[in-house]
Amino acid sequence: MSSLAGKQGPRYRHTADDGAPYETIAVEKLTPIIGAEISGVDIGRLVSDDARSNQQMDEIHRALAENLVIFFRDQQITPKQHLAFGRKFGELHFHPAAPHEDEDPALMKIYADKNSPRANGEGWHSDVSCDLEPPMGSILYIKQCPPRGGDTLFANMYAAYEALSDRMKAYLDGLTALHDGEPIYRGLYANYGVADRPSYPSAEHPVVRTHPVTAKKALYVNRGFTRHINGIPRDESDAMLAYLYQHAENPLFQCRFRWTENAIAFWDNRCTQHRAMWDYWPHTRSGTRVTVKGERPV
């Protein structure tokens, strides 16, 4: 396969947003391709003052659509406020396997320390893409982070799709793939005392999906959940998926977020993948995640 870059530079070229300037928030891009830090927002106050927050919420929606993942630092929010912020974007999603906090199934527990056998999200993935209606977005609030390490990487799947050749786009058009949670989730949370369920979700989704808000096409296969492409020989599927994974994980499509305590990341699962780095042993990283329901990919 040819390299993304040559004499003419990367095949994917980002075009700057031409929208009006923001009035109630400040947006500082991490890269031209993906990611932005948002300032001027107190999320605890935002969710408790509907009359005041309408314009700011509209601008946060816009910032997410334009940057795919957005970050907020120095946020002191309660579990109730975390859940309320998620509900500003839609009905909440319940994780099919993970433990939760405070008896609320929508508040997922995120925790790893020196005794953990694993950490959440170590490989590239889109959250719970094995669901028939995968999550629209995830809102992660980290309250305790290690002094070094523990960054999260995010990748732009619009960019990954657009950088494919026209012939590859034509080949992928109309193909679907199986996403299966069974081999991932069974036994995964045993260290938390979570019993396995009788079964875990699986679903077939387009290899290339169209975003319901932006109408852009995004590559929608990931190492975490995608098992095979339907309708082609298994060896061809394995080879094609291996190429697409490697392609999607190209650093040209990425940003990297360095966590600080009480920071929040909000990413759009419909057009991104992410990977959490577990490079901070023996330190502790903990927080909670709220996930917003999505729609069936098309």
* Spatial CA neighbour of 100 closest among 262, 289, 292: 289
Distance, CA of 222 to CA of 53 (rounded, Å): 36
Long-range contacts of the stretch 190-194 (C-beta < 8 A, 24+): 191/116, 191/117, 191/118, 192/99, 192/109, 193/99, 194/97, 194/98, 194/99
DSSP 100: B
Distance, CA of 130 to CA of 269 (rounded, Å): 12
Q: Determine whether 137 is exposed, middle or buried from the number of CB atoms within 10 Å of its CB (0-12, 13-18, 19+).
A: buried
Residues taking part in catalysis: 125, 127, 274, 289
How distant, in Å, are the alpha carbons of 39, 160, 229 from that of 171?
A: 42, 15, 12
* Spatial CA neighbour of 129 closest among 273, 247, 241: 273
